[in-house]
């Protein structure tokens, strides 16, 4: 351990007990070190366990295995040296700005004059002068998050944890807040020594961090580490900056393992009919195919480009792209999305023909869809209760995942007119309602 | 900055708001002193100064009744903060405590009054205090359960990020309770306190004038006044009592609840713009008066000081704690033993004092009361659902109707005894049919309340679409209005049904002076048993009624509620 190491995380594993039996593995084998003066980014999609890791470091929950050491001491609970900024601000709506900021100091039972002095100082630093007696509901989103920052800084933490602090703000406000934060940080005016930032925004990570840890899913783990040595302030249009962004896109869309035999569901956790499917509407699927098929992409699109064109975050874009890949409407290779022959045919077809193509791909490449149709075919009544499939899925996944997977299949099956589903009676059938 | 204004009230000491506030505060102190003066007098004193129907005595009676209700409300709050917190914080205890609360909510406590009176009288033998305790306890039982439930729900739904923020800034449990959990629960709790207050009036009449077997106690209060007026067939007296009740309810609304609601507005977590903030002249006064502002600042400082007391905690994340678990297990064992003991006692009482034949008869009576409740709920729905929809879609009408309905909900059935008895005797009507409306007198308003709420929550766009397509008449009711209010309606109907069962104890047996009209039903059975002081039959009647209410709730209302939630949810 080096002398200026603030935090070391080694071999951390986190599981949550599932409702029926077994454990849900959220994080596995995570190692991380934070040294003085650096901003480390945890970049990944929702469900990759990066927020869980942040909560482990904050001491809000404990690891199932491994150790988290802050200044050489095991983290056993929240510590005054580690403060957190929340995605949804988490301000107490019944307290004024001043009271919200002072709360952390009151919990430490400092003398009243000191609480006042330090709170006003933090409010001043973060640019909230004049808003001391306002209630959070009177403030705009950007101002609220400033209160969130002031509240975290007032306890003079060594480490600041930020959980997607800018993602609930509009683009302009987020940019202002980021710039203000980086200015304060590089001028050394904040009492903090190190920062860990959780984000799913690739550009934000490259803009702010000295080191980026890219997270993979199922289970959540660190798949790669990328050092960013560009000097601050960084320029988004700088070719080196663009290259880094492109490289991370490639990293994040690299196929986890070579193709498995049971269909192309390897992007999603589970195998065969027990793959956990994302809820992506058929509108999004056809919309993305149309966009990629049209000019200027003409069938092959760069993912960072399409993300910024469509104003989509990776959490929105990746599931759609991966669903297209699962149904072999497209291939993802080296950060590019390339439509297959079926994808191009779909994009250029009219609605009835589209449904036919969709049904074909769905039956061929999504094992669960074929399974549902086969069961309905075999039964004399050509109907089956939803519970039958839920039970089957729950053998290999949690109840929420089972519900989500079945909902996805219902939505795709309805679009393809493969089967009908009656939500009132929770019944699948081959017949369409008259 | 407001918090830097130190003691500036000294400069110009009083605003006109100060004068008003001062009068109010002094009045409150005088009121408390007056009402608590003769608590320790011997019980015989009550007999020496008999109640009088002279309206000039009514202010005093009203004061005393009000104080009883306030005391019961304070008790209910205490119960809420302890019981509901325990149920929410300890998963193991919650497993038992929540169903207990659910049952308590359904048990017709009205029937138990006779038993609790005996208990409290024996606690403070020969003093008025005992009877006062009994009355306050009876009112408490009508107020506490839904408040506790609401608080429990709030504790379970504290937003995760707020809770994490509290953890990460290391608030002690004590600070967390007062700074996070209580504020978060406040709006729902205050709403439930208002409902409880309405429900409490029903019990005031039953609890102030108590006769168990040979003992007759009439505590000075509006309830006893009404009872006396009924016994003496004094219609003017009834009129005066209604007027006094109206004034007290109005005062409660203006002086207590409206300020509370306006004040609690800041505790709402969802911050949607555009919603009108509730207003209250009393709150405005309290806020504008400098003296009061200074006093509240002192009080806040006190609260803050208290909230910093308590042990300084070393927070550990919730891991499996062996000793804590052992303690909980012990507690669980003790509670289970208590439940078993209670079951054994009930069984013994029933086996000793009643026959299977009687039990069968009681079930028959319960079926009759059940029929009555369902028919009445149906009839009330036919009337109040259309009215509620109409009112709910007109905000101005809703603002007028809401407080009126709130007053009517507080209206005890006893006040209509003269009308019912007179009518039935004069025209020789069937009591089984014509006494029934009294059961739903106070409870039908819950249907109206909820339907109004549902109709006003209906998105304006949906209504615009309906008028755009020219959807009118029956089609509009069938496809637009009714589906929109179904979940709300079911909530109201559940409350109304539970309340009507309880009201049956009062309503199935009506007295007007010496004339007595009785319907066949479980309520009349319990009322008779109470009057006769027949302990075994009281227990049998109440046990049967509880079982009926709980079963109907589980098998019918709850299912209907989930169905309505799934099918008609507007999201």
pLDDT of residue A21: 62
Q: Which residue of B2, B161, B179 is in closest CB contact with A88?
A: B161
Using CA atoms, how far residue B516 sits from B212, B225, B372, B400, B520, in Å, is 18, 19, 20, 38, 13
All residues of chain B having their beta carbon less than 8 Å from the beta carbon of residue A424 are 567
Residue of A nearest to B566 (CA): A424
pLDDT of residue B273: 42
Cα angle A373, A256, A406 (rounded to 5 degrees) comes to 25
Residue of B nearest to A424 (CA): B567
Q: Report whether A422 contacts A379 (CB < 8 A).
A: no
Distance from CA of B478 to the nearest CA of A (A): 18
All residues of chain A having their beta carbon less than 8 Å from the beta carbon of residue B180 are 92
pLDDT of residue B4: 38
Do B315 and A83 make contact, defined as CB atoms within 8 angstroms? no
pLDDT of residue B307: 62
pTM as predicted: 0.77
pLDDT of residue B372: 92
What distance in Å separates the CA atoms of residue B391 and residue B107, rounded to the nearest whole number? 33
Do B267 and A94 make contact, defined as CB atoms within 8 angstroms? yes
Do B269 and A93 make contact, defined as CB atoms within 8 angstroms? yes
Q: Phi and psi at residue B43, in whole multiples of 5°?
A: -60, -30
Domain boundaries along the sequence of chain B: 9-38+281-313, 45-279, 323-350, 354-571
pLDDT of residue B52: 77
Residue of A nearest to B309 (CA): A109
B567 at the A interface (CB within 8 A)? yes
pLDDT of residue B515: 79
- Out of 1.10.3720.10, 1.10.287.110, 3.20.20.70, 3.10.20.600, the CATH code matching B45-279 is 1.10.3720.10
**Which residue, among A245, A241, A158, has the nearest Cα to A199 in the 3D structure?**
A245
Of all helices (H) and strands (E), which one includes residue A63?
Answer: none
What distance in Å separates the CA atoms of residue B484 and residue B450, rounded to the nearest whole number? 12
Mean pLDDT of chain A: 85
All residues of chain A having their beta carbon less than 8 Å from the beta carbon of residue B172 are 107
**Which residue, among A153, A136, A152, has the nearest Cα to A144 in the 3D structure?**
A136
pLDDT of residue B78: 93
Distance from CA of A424 to the nearest CA of B (A): 7
Residue of A nearest to B264 (CA): A94
CB pairs under 8 A between A and B: 85
pLDDT of residue B405: 78
Bond prior to B336 in cis (omega within 30° of 0): no
Q: Any residues with CB less than 8 A from the CB of A282 and at least 6 apart, and which?
A: A358, A411, A412, A415
Complex confidence, ipTM: 0.75
pLDDT of residue B271: 45
Do A104 and B1 make contact, defined as CB atoms within 8 angstroms? no
User: What's the CATH code, domain B354-571?
Assistant: 1.10.3720.10
Q: Which domains does chain A have, with CATH numbers?
A: 5-252 (3.40.50.300), 269-277+366-434 (1.10.10), 280-349 (1.10.10.10)
All residues of chain A having their beta carbon less than 8 Å from the beta carbon of residue B318 are 61
Judge whether B45-279 and B354-571 match in fold: yes
**Which residue, among B294, B491, B168, has the nearest Cα to A81 in the 3D structure?**
B168
Q: Residues of chain A whose pLDDT is less than 50?
A: 1-2, 258-265, 433-434
Structure tokens at B89: 């914080």
Distance from CA of B139 to the nearest CA of A (A): 32
pLDDT of residue B75: 92
Q: What is the CA radius of gyration of chain A?
A: 25
What distance in Å separates the CA atoms of residue B423 and residue B518, rounded to the nearest whole number? 13
Q: Any residues with CB less than 8 A from the CB of B221 and at least 6 apart, and which?
A: B61, B62, B64, B65, B68, B135, B204, B208
Do B168 and A60 make contact, defined as CB atoms within 8 angstroms? yes
Mutation target among A77, A113, A132, A156 for the B interface, most CBs of B within 10 A: A77
All residues of chain B having their beta carbon less than 8 Å from the beta carbon of residue A106 are 175, 304, 308
Q: Report whether A46 contacts A200 (CB < 8 A).
A: yes
Do B170 and A107 make contact, defined as CB atoms within 8 angstroms? yes
Q: CB atoms < 10 A from the CB of B99, how many?
A: 12
Q: Report whether A325 contacts A267 (CB < 8 A).
A: yes
DSSP 8-state symbol, A41: E
Cα angle A71, A76, A78 (rounded to 5 degrees) comes to 85
Residue of A nearest to B316 (CA): A77
DSSP 8-state symbol, B470: T
Look at the block and give the residue holding tokens 């994808």: A343
B179 at the A interface (CB within 8 A)? yes
All residues of chain A having their beta carbon less than 8 Å from the beta carbon of residue B161 are 86-90
B267 at the A interface (CB within 8 A)? yes
**Cβ-based burial of B27 (10 A; exposed 0-12, middle 13-18, buried ≥19):** exposed
| CB < 8 Å from A in window 112-171 of B | 159, 161-162, 164-165, 167-171
CA-CA-CA-CA dihedral for A143, B279, B397, B440, to nearest 10: 110
- Grouping H, G, I as helix, E, B as strand and the rest as coil, residue B46 is helix
pLDDT of residue B250: 83
Distance from CA of A78 to the nearest CA of B (A): 5
What distance in Å separates the CA atoms of residue A158 and residue A36, rounded to the nearest whole number? 9
B1 at the A interface (CB within 8 A)? yes
Q: Residues of chain B whose pLDDT is less than 50?
A: 1-13, 271-275, 313-322
Residues of chain A by 3-state class (helix, strand, coil), percent to 5:
45, 20, 35
Do B315 and A59 make contact, defined as CB atoms within 8 angstroms? yes
**Cβ-based burial of B536 (10 A; exposed 0-12, middle 13-18, buried ≥19):** middle
Structure tokens at A201: 């925004």
pLDDT of residue B510: 80
B4 at the A interface (CB within 8 A)? no
Distance from CA of A59 to the nearest CA of B (A): 7
Q: Report whether A41 contacts A214 (CB < 8 A).
A: no
The DSSP-derived string for A383-409 is EEEHHHHHHHHHTTS-HHHHHHHHHHH
Q: How would you list the strands of the sheet with A330-333, edge to edge? A: A300-302, A336-339, A330-333
Q: Which residue of A86, A106, A135 is in closest CB contact with B165?
A: A86
Using CA atoms, how far residue B434 sits from A172, B389, B430, B447, in Å, is 70, 28, 6, 21
């Amino acid at each position: 351990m080096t002398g200026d190491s603030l935090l070391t995380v080694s071999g951390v594993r986190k599981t949550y007990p599932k409702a029926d039996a077994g454990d849900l593995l959220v994080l596995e084998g995570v190692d991380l070190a934070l040294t003085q003066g650096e901003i480390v980014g945890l970049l990944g999609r929702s469900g990759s366990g990066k927020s869980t890791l942040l909560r482990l470091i904050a001491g809000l929950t404990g690891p199932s295995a491994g150790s988290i050491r802050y200044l050489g001491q095991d983290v056993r609970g929240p510590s005054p040296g580690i403060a957190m900024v929340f995605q949804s601000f988490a301000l107490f709506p019944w307290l004024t700005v001043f009271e919200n900021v002072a709360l952390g100091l009151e919990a430490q039972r400092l003398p009243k004059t000191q609480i006042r002095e330090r709170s006003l100082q933090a409010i001043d630093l973060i640019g909230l002068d004049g808003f001391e007696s306002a209630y959070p509901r009177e403030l705009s989103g950007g101002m609220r998050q400033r209160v969130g920052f002031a509240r975290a800084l007032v306890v003079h933490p060594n480490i600041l944890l930020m959980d997607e602090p800018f993602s609930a703000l509009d683009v302009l406000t987020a940019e202002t807040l980021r710039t203000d934060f980086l200015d304060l940080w590089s001028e050394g005016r904040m009492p903090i020594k190190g920062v860990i930032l959780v984000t799913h925004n690739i550009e934000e990570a490259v803009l702010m961090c000295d080191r980026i840890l890219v997270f993979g899913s199922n289970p959540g783990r660190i798949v790669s580490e990328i050092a960013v040595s560009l000097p601050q302030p960084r320029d988004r249009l700088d070719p080196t900056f663009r290259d880094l962004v492109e490289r991370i896109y490639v990293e994040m869309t690299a196929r986890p393992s070579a193709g498995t035999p049971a269909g192309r569901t390897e992007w999603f956790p589970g195998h065969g009919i027990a793959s956990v499917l994302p809820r992506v509407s058929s509108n999004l699927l056809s919309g993305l195919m149309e966009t990629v098929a049209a000019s200027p992409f003409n069938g092959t699109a760069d993912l960072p480009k399409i993300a910024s064109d469509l104003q989509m975050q990776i959490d929105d874009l990746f599931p759609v792209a991966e669903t297209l890949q699962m149904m072999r409407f497209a291939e993802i290779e080296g950060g590019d999305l390339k439509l297959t022959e079926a994808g191009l045919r779909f994009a250029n077809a009219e609605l009835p023909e589209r449904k036919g193509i969709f049904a074909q791909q769905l039956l061929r490449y999504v094992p669960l869809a074929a399974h549902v149709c086969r069961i309905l075919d075999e039964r004399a009544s050509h109907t089956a209760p939803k519970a039958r499939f839920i039970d089957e899925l729950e053998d290999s996944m949690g109840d929420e995942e089972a519900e989500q997977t079945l909902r996805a299949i219902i939505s795709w099956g309805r679009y393809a007119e493969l089967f009908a589903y009656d939500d009132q009676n929770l019944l699948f059938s081959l017949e369409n309602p008259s | 900055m407001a918090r830097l204004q130190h003691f500036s009230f000294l400069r110009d000491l009083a605003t006109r708001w100060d004068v008003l506030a001062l009068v109010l505060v002094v009045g409150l102190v005088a009121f408390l002193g007056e009402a608590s003066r003769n608590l320790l007098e011997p019980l015989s004193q009550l007999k020496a100064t008999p109640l009088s129907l002279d309206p000039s005595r009514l202010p005093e009676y009203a004061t005393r009744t009000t104080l009883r209700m306030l005391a019961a409300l304070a008790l209910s709050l205490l119960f809420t903060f302890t019981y509901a917190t325990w149920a929410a914080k300890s998963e193991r205890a919650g497993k038992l405590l929540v169903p207990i609360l659910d049952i308590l909510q359904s048990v017709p406590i009205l029937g138990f009054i006779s038993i609790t009176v005996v208990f409290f009288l024996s606690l403070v033998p020969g003093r008025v205090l005992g009877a006062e305790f009994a009355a306050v306890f009876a009112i408490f039982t009508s107020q506490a359960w839904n408040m506790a439930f609401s608080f429990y729900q709030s504790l379970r739904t504290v937003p995760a990020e707020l809770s994490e923020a509290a953890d990460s800034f290391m608030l002690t449990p004590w600070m967390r309770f007062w700074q996070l959990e209580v504020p978060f629960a406040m709006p729902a709790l205050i709403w439930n306190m208002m409902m409880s207050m309405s429900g409490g009036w029903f019990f005031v009449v039953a609890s102030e004038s108590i006769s168990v077997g040979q003992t007759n106690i009439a505590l000075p209060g509006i309830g006893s006044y009404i009872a006396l007026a009924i016994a003496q067939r004094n219609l003017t007296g009834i009129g005066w009592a209604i007027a006094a009740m109206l004034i007290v309810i109005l005062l409660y609304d203006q002086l207590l609840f409206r300020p509370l609601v306006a004040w609690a507005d800041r505790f709402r977590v969802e911050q949607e713009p555009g919603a009108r903030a509730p207003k209250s002249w009393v709150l405005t006064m309290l806020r504008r008066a400098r003296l009061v502002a200074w006093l509240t600042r002192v009080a806040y400082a006190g609260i803050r000081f208290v909230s910093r007391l308590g042990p300084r905690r070393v927070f550990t994340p919730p891991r499996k704690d062996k000793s804590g678990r052992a303690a909980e297990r012990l507690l669980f064992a003790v509670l289970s033993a208590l439940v078993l003991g209670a079951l054994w006692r009930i069984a013994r009482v029933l086996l000793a004092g009643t026959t299977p034949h009687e039990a069968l008869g009681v079930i028959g009576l319960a079926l009759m009361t059940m029929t009555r409740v369902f028919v009445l709920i149906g009839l009330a729905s036919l009337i109040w659902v259309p009215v509620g929809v109409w009112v709910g879609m007109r905000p101005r009408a809703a603002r007028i109707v809401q407080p009126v309905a709130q007053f009517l909900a507080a209206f005890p059935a006893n006040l209509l005894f003269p009308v019912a008895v007179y009518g039935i005797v004069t025209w020789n009507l069937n009591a089984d049919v014509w006494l029934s409306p009294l059961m739903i007198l106070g409870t039908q308003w819950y249907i109206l309340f909820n339907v109004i709420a549902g109709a006003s929550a209906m998105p304006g766009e949906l209504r615009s679409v309906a008028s755009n397509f020219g959807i009118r008449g029956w089609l509009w009711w069938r496809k637009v209005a009714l589906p929109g209010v179904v979940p709300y309606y079911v909530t109201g109907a559940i409350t109304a049904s539970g309340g009507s069962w309880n009201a049956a104890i009062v309503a199935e047996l009506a007295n007007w002076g010496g004339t007595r009209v009785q319907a066949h039903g479980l309520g009349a059975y319990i009322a008779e048993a109470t009057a006769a002081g027949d302990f075994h039959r009281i227990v049998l009647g109440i046990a049967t009624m509880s079982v009926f209410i709980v079963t109907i709730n589980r098998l019918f209302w709850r299912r209907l509620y989930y169905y309505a939630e799934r099918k008609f949810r507007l999201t």
